[in-house]
Amino acid sequence: MWCEQGWLNGAVEDGIRLEVDDAGTVTLATPATAPQPGDLQLTGVTFPAASNAHSHAFHRILRGRTHAGGRGSFWTWREQMYEAAGTLTPELYEQLATAVFAEMVVAGFTSVAEFHYVHHQPDGTPYGGEHSEEHAMERALARAAVAAGIRLTLLDTCYLAGGFDAPLNTGQQRFGDTDAAAWLERLASLRNALANEFDPAQVSVGAALHSVRGVPEADLAMIAAHLPADLPLHIHLSEQPAENEACLQATGLTPTMLLHRRGLISRRLSAVHATHLTGEDIAVLGAAGATVVMCPTTEADLADGIGPAAALRAAGARIALGTDQHAVVDPFLEMRALEYGERLASGERGRFTPGDLHQAASGAGTHAQGRPDPGLAPGNVCDLMSVAPHSLRTAGSRPGQLALTATAADVHTVVVGGRVLARNGRHSSLGDPGVLLGAAIAAVDTAGATTFEGIPHP
């Protein structure tokens, strides 16, 4: 494989020739060289592919449907999200997730951490038995990832309560397990099932706690004691001031310090959002070397606020990026929003360099998934995205500064494991993701028994 230009060792080099083994790993990278006959040639500027560190695939249903009818808030948006979750069957979810994952691939994402909590049937009854397969929703997501060719880390989520001292409500029944022991047992069963069915380089299982609102403190203690040490662990953390206030009232601690008391703040933890933190919270997350997954376009869409990204990084935390509810699926817009949020909050430019932004969009995300880094250097998996440097958006840009000018529309080729998976916005086997998304969302609309704001039920 030969790259006209490529991001190697923190800078853009010319004429990089790569050798890739059968496992899809780069074994040799030689800059300043010419292509050889038979080389796959990538024009433009090639970067390590993006790694989506936080996704809820079914939230894609809501794009462009939640903006009418008054100002609203995260909490009113959440009720519409519950309605969307209630429509899903394994078949519909596989169709929808295939389209969403294909959208990610053509945008430059080659791996995704899917924060998954739609486990059971709408009344909370587990799948399995005469009329459905065990782990039906999880298997649907895994099949969708295989169809799209994206590397999936399925974060099976523990969701036990509707708030501090509150049971799950009707819309949350399909998310829940009886208690932490039941979740750990189901998680072990899921790991065995998917390991027997799928290549771990393609589909792996991690763990997530929905939030401190969703997992009572006694269950946090059990999980800390019994969760297998090899699993990445994610949690929604301090996304809303109301979450912090409720946690302080119930426990006397912030969400971060509650997790710290239960031994859950560590290098394997990925704290998602972490928007409203105290100085002590920042110090604890940084000292542990935890990852903080920021989702800037979602946090803007939901009016969550601007998180302390630079302060967290200075304290020792790793910053990764995710698309969360998929208001946008574009790694470049997430990168830019991370830096722009810092500029708006601080009044200073250049809080994250272009190199920092690419690291947040790629290697930090794969770390959060427990996967090897993508890129052009020997030892990296050969997951790449090639960007057009002379488009309407990028013309005149320095190659090393494309993080601040390009969008997903400029990603013309996506490579996974050394093989081309997308070109010019089309998936190599699935075609146009827009067509897939339109069909999947129409199918959900037709099957659903709910009405989204401004969208009458058919």
273 is catalytic: yes
Sign for the CA dihedral angle at 135, 141, 147, 149 comes to negative
**367 part of the active site:** no
CA distances from 243 to 81, 274, 293, 364 (A): 18, 11, 18, 26
Q: In this structure, what token pair is assigned to residue 5?
A: 């230009």
Look up residue 301 and give its two tokens.
């869409």
Measured between alpha carbons, how far is 387 from 6 in angstroms, rounded to an integer?
Answer: 10
- Which residue type is seen at 451? T
* Helical ranges in 173-320 per DSSP H: 180-197, 217-226, 241-251, 255-261, 279-288, 296-301, 309-315
**What tokens does 358 get?**
């690419």
What CA–CA distance (Å, rounded) separates 402 from 379? 25
403, 7 contact by CB (below 8 A): no
Catalytic residue among 273, 326, 412, 427: 273
User: Vertex 25, ends 19 and 26: CA angle to 5°?
Assistant: 35
CA distance 295 to 54: 8
Q: Is the dihedral of CA 274, 7, 56, 117 positive or negative?
A: negative
Whole-angstrom Cα distance, residue 166 to residue 241? 18
Neighbours of 340 (CB within 10 A): 18
Residues 324, 356, 383, 410: which is the catalytic one?
324
Which residues fall within 8 angstroms of residue 121, CB to CB, at 6 or more apart?
A: 127, 174
Strands 384-387 and 411-416, by their bridges, are antiparallel
Q: Please state the separation of Cα 5 from the chain's center in Å.
A: 28
State whether residue 119 is helix, strand or coil.
Answer: coil
Place of tokens 């969760």: 227
Question: How many helices (H) and strands (E) would you count in the chain?
Answer: 14, 16
Non-local CB neighbours of 73 within 8 Å, separated by 6+ positions:
303
State how far the Cα of 450 lies from the Cα of 86, in Å rounded to an integer: 8
At which residue do the structure tokens 């299982």 appear? 205
Q: What residues form DSSP beta bridges with 234? A: 208, 270
* H or E segment to which residue 6 belongs: strand 2-8
Among 179, 263, 257, residue whose Cα is nearest residue 225? 263
Cite the active site residues.
273, 324
